[in-house]
Structure 1
């Protein structure tokens, strides 16, 4: 049998190359994602940046720490307290200190760049050095990063004090960790009285002694100083986000790789049924046939898996560069020297190859010799008992999970991991059941062409219907390509439409005004001026946070809105599940139905945005919707938070045009953006950021590129196996052009069959999202990405036609008589 095996490998080189390519690329994908994922598990200790040269940094903890039975739980405070004045006074009396302050600044020219303001005396600790000009010496002077030609120029700068011209007295080299503007120390203190950090020139032990055992103060030295940097957990958060992204991408690519490899190897076995029949006729036992094909698969599997691991090492480095270039990963991110991804990729590839061949040869080995020869020409029984069981089981599981999720936890369907992995069950189910779907679909699609003059349409219909296994195997890559692209993008688009509809349904105001970040919210005088506009009812709200300890173990932060309850119903229409919004007062709270405690009248222990603990009574419960509905409290429970949004509603008969002009005139000095209801809703429409698009490229683009290659690979294998059929057509009188047209039309037909199956899977998945949104009381429309589906179908069609016609052209160069008599 070893001689037969070696001879087979030599004569069926197209099938050998096809299975080798599919497996090598699949293993490469798994290795690439595995190496990237492994590299996100270890991060070097983040070094201090803005305070790299500071001896000691003292800062407020600015975090809420709550004791639970399983240990302390912490969350950053929505309203940081800063260093207490008492601590600052004690330290300044004993040792040299420099106060650090951070506050938003906006340059009101061009794109309105947002910067962060600091006192100049703190600049040196972050490595800032003047490259031109001098330090800010007067209140109207500033220093910023930029070209030396900026020195002496006046820039309109917006701060909490309003808009004013500031003269650039000097420039510094840009820093990686922030875009800063430096003010004179006295001016910075006026703009931001709160002290965020204190740089202390003294020994750490001396500082700790002076501070005393104060739990709200941190004394930072060495690498711990990075906790005072802007975004101190930037690298850790980026790695966590990358871990989630690559975990999802790894799951998708592993599924696609296993799916395509198993399908390719099963198709390779199906191509050899005539050969198996001849071997059985010659006296080979089923065990010998299985052993021969198992050894072939093992040989190809080992070599292809080794090649795939080698390709994966290069692919992982390319992936790391892409993530760094697109700012999804920290600049230092590289692929580490990890071995387990290679083991996972190698053994997964080898086992899938062996499993695919084993399953296919079990049935082939059981067929009697005469039956094997008969089935080599026509697929009489394409569905096996195991295929029925697994296909029906996966279909029931996929549909059942979607229904169960819709009824029990509809919000889970909106999570990326859920709608990314959900299609896999249905794709696999439809792929297993494809043989029973292919024949009727093919006959339906080819019915009209079969009625046209000529034999092309009839031959396409009969060839595809007779070769069910071949048609199903070629349609499989198209199915997974269309289903993945349609399901992921369709789910995202449907959820985005739902979010936009939810915003529109809940917004009743005629004008919405959002405060400029640099202004720090609206003061009471400005709000009073807007309320004096004839016919205007103004609802002022402030964004804060509420913390709750769920089930005694998890400290959960919820976005909260502080608003006057009498104005709330005028500006917004909230989906109230129970209770009454009008009952909201200083001792109560409105929660959403994602909270563990959500019974009207029940008291819940919460912590406010500044860390103050409070016990509030639940007066109403609103639907969580798509996640935008937070909780509501009164301004009393959001101390020291200025309103950052104004909703203006016009009374009946009021002059809305004149009123809007008056509102804009009042708010012009604040730099706030005044938008109509329509413009506001449009501006809030969810849009994919550049990083999100790159994420889709990683999750979807790589997997779809692989399936496109697999489709072309399978088409080459299928066409090369039909050289005798092509020769018979030529001997029957068909011209080369007619044969090539037939091959191309057959390829297009099979691609359309796969696209129809993929679209069906897409529709089921998107309908599941739509049902979950309906269960969340969110009005939405079903959005199918038709353009993407059409582009995907077009790309698959081009790949399939080219990969089928080119081998046919090569085969037709040989005389038909020689092709008809050629050995397989």
Structure 2
């Protein structure tokens, strides 16, 4: 049977092109994703940047460490502590000390990530003046890069008196030491130019750390940014690799199944000639093995070519650090090759069993109509997967509805439902195929119903693409819509004041504005030890309990916000302990331990209903936002003018603040979604081109019969186009049904979490996706049909 399989491949090579290309592309994508994962497994250790020339850096406590039964747990503090005054005095006796202060900045026309520093620390990063001079007064600054020239004025009124060449790792504005101390009173680290051993002896036991050598990188801004970026890349490429594996298995299995179904007469002839069912099955599997070996090898070659290109693309797109490169690992090629081989053989297993059951009488079959459309095995598998998808969704809704809002969940969960619907699709072909008017409509329905398996096979890739587009884009839009609705419901302030320079707000001046009720808040974090072993950080806001209710409407489910005081805390239902009156042990943003009583509990919502404490428990965080209500009878315009008169602030109306705070899909999520949809659409094109070309070739005799009956070439082409569009429409309807079920599950989760339910169906994306599938289907149908029309009907 091996010789038969080889002869079949040579004679019917066109029937295997679709499987070969689909598998080769899948293996290539898996190889690329594997190379990307290998490259993102570990971040290299960065060299010190801002303090590369500093002998030693003394840094205040910036890490919280908590002992647990299974070992110490640590987390970075939201508000690192200042170096103790006693330590500062002691190290000053050892040698020169330069205090470092870093604070975010904003300037019109400047980079979005501006950061301020005192000028004396610039020399430790090897900054050198390229133009102008150093700042001497509080109103003078030096900037890095070329975005501002000497003599320019910043939005805060400061005059640029010098520029330095940018070093690539930050965009900085340098002030005098005194002015930097006014803008950022906290000095979390300082440079000591003295003997390192003596410095360590002085600092020992104070909670501060002495950083030397490569450890000085820990004093740079966000030293863990590389590891965070690689974690995001791992999630992105892992998801894309999973979708690639799913779609490739789906397409290869469907292609083999369709090819075997079209070869019933051939297998019948083999059975008539004496071949046993086992021999027929081995022949089909041998064909799959041969295709798998060739396609997997080709895919590995494609992966080696595409991996470096992907690395450059993610670096240029800002998703990966500059040093990130892809290539060099060997194991991804082994994994991709053997995965492709397993996919090819596994995809042909079901088809081989069906081929082995072909009766010798099939050799006499003339009609192209399908037999039993939905086999018992397909029915059982489809039903089992459908029940499994429903049970999994129900269990998640009952146990942890918030799980359905996670990106990994709403990307992976639709796949189970898609597979179930694809398996059961033959059962709905007849009822869903429309009765179109005229002779063409009658023939379209007759062909679709007579070839149910062919119709379901062609509709399957459309189903995958439309369902993934609707589920992924719809889930993201629905979640963003719910979060935006939460922001609208929570915000009742007439105006929201934030810092225009990035430094803490002058709340005293804002509170004195006539006609304004100002509620200052500060962003911080609190840490809890969940289940005694997991150190969890929760975003929190430090508020004035007496003013909070006037400028915010929070979803309280138990207790009262008015009961919040310096000995209590407001939590949400996501916390392990969330009963009013209970005492919880927490660590504040600066690591200070506290035992606080729960005063009120908020609904979980979409996860943005955080924790509230008083200013006494802010952990040293400065005020970054002030919500303002206009007193009854006061003039809103006069209040807004009074607020803007306070220097260094940005005043937004409540409506403008809500609009600006509306969640938006970040670049990583957007790229991941488009990558997944691109893979699905690519496979849709491959499968449609292969399947419809095979189907059009088989209909050669039917086309000739229509022409002999008087049909013109144009009528035949219109009939073929109508059939293709009908099948695409069927797949789109099934994909829309899967989308509706997935979005209904997300809506149920939002309802259970007491979050606003705003289901968003991405109609434009669905329309474009369906149109792309329709264009691919028309191209794959009309070209082979037009080729068939070149032959004489009598032939």
Q: TM-score, normalization: structure 2?
A: 0.96
Between 74-83 and 621-630, the greater mean CA deviation after superposition:
74-83
Residue 610 of structure 1, CA deviation: 1.7
Q: Which residue of 2 aligns with 1:798?
A: 775
User: Distance in 1 between the 2:219 and 2:420 partners?
Assistant: 53
Q: 1:177 aligns with which of 160, 169, 172?
A: 169
Query: Helix, strand or coil for the counterpart of 1:669?
Result: coil
Deviates most, 188-197 or 478-487: 188-197
- Whole-Å Cα distance in 2 between the matches of residues 117 and 194 of structure 1? 13
Residue 629 of structure 1 corresponds to 609
678 and 120 in structure 1: CA distance in 2 versus 1, 3 angstrom threshold = closer
Alpha-carbon distance in 2 for matches of 1:246, 1:566: 48
1:664-710 deviations in Å (ceiling 9; x for gaps): 32333333332333222222221223443223223333333333333
Instruction: Report how far residue 376 of structure 1 moved.
Output: 6.3
Which residues in structure 2 correspond to 1:88-127 (within 5 Å)?
A: 88-107=88-107, 109-110=108-109, 113=112, 115-127=114-126
Q: Choose which of 723, 731, 736 in structure 2 pairs with 1:746.
A: 723
Say if 2:570 is the partner of 1:566. no
1:206 aligned residue: 198
TM-score (norm. length: structure 1): 0.93
**Where do 1:476-555 residues align within 5 Å?**
476-516=460-500, 518-523=502-507, 525-530=508-513, 532-533=514-515, 536-555=516-535
What's the counterpart of residue 26 of structure 2?
Answer: 26
Task: Indicate the residue corresponding to 1:161 in structure 2.
Answer: none
Structure 1 counterpart of 2:332 = 341
Aligned to 1:233: 224
Between stretches 337-346 and 617-626, larger displacement belongs to 337-346
Identify the residue that residue 82 of structure 2 maps to in structure 1. 82
Deviating more after overlay: 77-86 vs 603-612: 77-86
CA–CA separation in structure 1 for the residues paired with 2:126 and 2:7? 71
CA RMSD, aligned part only? 2.0
Retained in 2: the 8 A contact 1:19–1:268? Answer: no
Q: Could you list the per-position Cα deviations for residues 776-811 of structure 1 after superposition, in whole angstroms to 9, with x for gaps in the alignment? A: 111222211011000000000001101111112222
- Which range is displaced more, 634-643 or 169-178? 634-643
Any idea what the Cα deviations from partners look like across 1:638-669, whole Å, max 9, x if unmatched? Answer: 254333222223455x24xx234323323333
Paired residues of 2:28 and 2:336 also in contact (CA < 8 A)? yes
1:54 maps to what in 2? 54
> Is residue 488–residue 658 contact of structure 2 (8 Å, CA) maintained in 1?
yes
Deviations 1:592-620 (A, max 9, x none): 00101111111111111221111111121
Task: Output aligned runs, 1:404-419, within 5 Å.
Answer: 404-419=395-410
Contact 1:522–1:642 (Cα < 8 Å) also in 2: no
Name stretches of at least 5 consecutive residues in structure 2 with no aligned partner: none
Cα deviation 1:400-439 (Å, max 9, x = unaligned): 2112212221111110001111100100000111111122
Secondary structure at 1:128 match in 2: coil
- Runs of 4+ off more than 6 Å: none
Assess if the C-alpha contact under 8 Å between 1:32 and 1:316 holds in 2: yes
Alpha-carbon distance in structure 1 between the residues aligned to 2:126 and 2:559:
56
Contact 1:273 1:375 in 2 (8 A): no
- Counterparts in 2 of 1:570 and 1:142: CA distance versus 1, 3 Å: closer
The unaligned stretches of length 5 or more in structure 1 are 159-164, 819-824
Q: Give distance in 2, aligned partners of 1:501 and 1:139.
A: 43
Instruction: Say whether the 8 Å CA contact 1:364–1:372 is kept in structure 2.
Output: no
What is the rounded CA distance, in whole Å, between the counterparts of 1:509 and 1:105 in structure 2?
A: 25
CA distance in structure 2 between the aligned counterparts of 1:68 and 1:246, rounded to whole angstroms = 34
For residue 638 of structure 1, what is the aligned residue in structure 2?
A: 618
Q: What is the aligned partner in structure 2 of residue 135 from structure 1? A: 134
Superimposed CA distance per residue, residues 483-539 of structure 1 (whole angstroms, 9 cap, x where no aligned partner): 00100000111111111111222222232323335231233x223313x31xx4332
Q: 2:221 & 2:361 partners in 1: Cα distance?
A: 77
Q: How does 1:310-459 map to 2 (within 5 A)?
A: 310-371=301-362, 373-374=364-365, 377-442=368-433, 445=434, 447=435, 449=436, 451-452=437-438, 455-459=439-443
1:694 maps onto 2:671 in alignment: yes
Quick check: 2:510–2:646 contact (8 Å CA) kept in 1? Answer: no
Structure 2: distance between partners of 1:631 and 1:752: 49
Aligned-partner Cα distance in 2 for 1:294–1:149: 69
* 2:103 and 2:503 in contact (8 A); partners too: no
Say if 1:326 and 1:694, in contact at 8 Å, map to a contact too.
Answer: no
Q: How far off is 1:112 after superposition?
A: 7.9
Listed one character per residue, the Cα deviations across residues 94-148 of structure 1 (whole Å, up to 9, x for unaligned) are 12332222123322x3468552111222212213222222222333322112349
- 2: CA distance between counterparts of 1:139 and 1:502? 42
Q: Distance in 1 between matches of 2:367 and 2:8?
A: 17
Give runs of aligned pairs for residues 161-200 of structure 1, distance below 5 A.
165-200=157-192
Partners of 1:183 and 1:346 in 2: CA distance: 58
Q: Displacement of 1:393 after TM fit?
A: 0.8
- Following TM superposition, by how much is the alpha carbon of 1:721 offset from its aligned partner in structure 2, in angstroms? 3.2
| Preserved CA contact (<8 Å) 2:183 2:503 | no
Check 1:503–1:147 CA distance in 2 against 1; reply closer, same or farther (3 A cut).
closer
**Is the aligned partner of 1:70 residue 2:62?**
no
2:595 paired with 1:615 = yes
Distance 1:434 1:613 in 2: 59
CA contact (8 A) 1:547 1:607 kept: yes
**Higher mean C-alpha displacement, 727-736 vs 760-769:** 727-736
Q: Could you say which residue in structure 1 is the equivalent of 2:42?
A: 42
Assess if the C-alpha contact under 8 Å between 2:129 and 2:164 holds in 1.
yes
Q: What is the Cα deviation at residue 207 of structure 1?
A: 2.1
Distance 1:83 1:132, change over 3 A: same
Residues 152-205 of structure 1 deviation map (CA, whole Å, 9 limit, x = unaligned): x141353xxxxxx32322211112211001123333334333323222233432
Q: Which residue, out of 232, 242, 245, partners 1:254?
A: 245
Q: Residues of 2 paired with 1:193 and 1:347: CA distance?
A: 60
What is aligned with 2:293? 302
8 A Cα contact 1:522 1:644, kept in partner: no
Equivalent pair of 1:245/1:699 in contact (CA under 8 Å): no
Pick the aligned partner of 1:715 from 692, 695, 705.
692
Q: For 1:376 and 1:44, locate their aligned partners in 2 and report how far apart those are by CA, in whole Å.
A: 65
Cα distance in 2 for residues equivalent to 1:644 and 1:440: 60
Q: Would you say the 8 A contact 1:562–1:633 is kept in 2? A: yes
* Mean CA deviation greater in 312-321 or 1-10: 1-10
Task: Check the 8 A contact 2:688/2:777 in 1, yes or no.
Answer: yes
Q: Is the 8 A contact 1:132 1:148 kept in 2?
A: no
Q: What is the alpha-carbon distance in structure 2 between the residues aligned to residue 632 and residue 674 of structure 1?
A: 24
- What SS class does the counterpart of residue 153 from structure 2 fall into? strand
2:589–2:620: 8 Å Cα contact kept in structure 1?
no
Cα separation, 1, equivalents of 2:344 and 2:701: 28
Q: Hey, what's the Cα distance between the residues in 1 that align with 2:566 and 2:181?
A: 33
CA distance in 2, matches of 1:157, 1:362: 75
Q: 1:382 to 1:149 in 2, by over 3 A?
A: closer
Report the counterpart of residue 775 of structure 1 in structure 2.
752
2:447 is the counterpart of 1:463: yes
What is residue 162 of structure 1 aligned with on the other side?
A: none
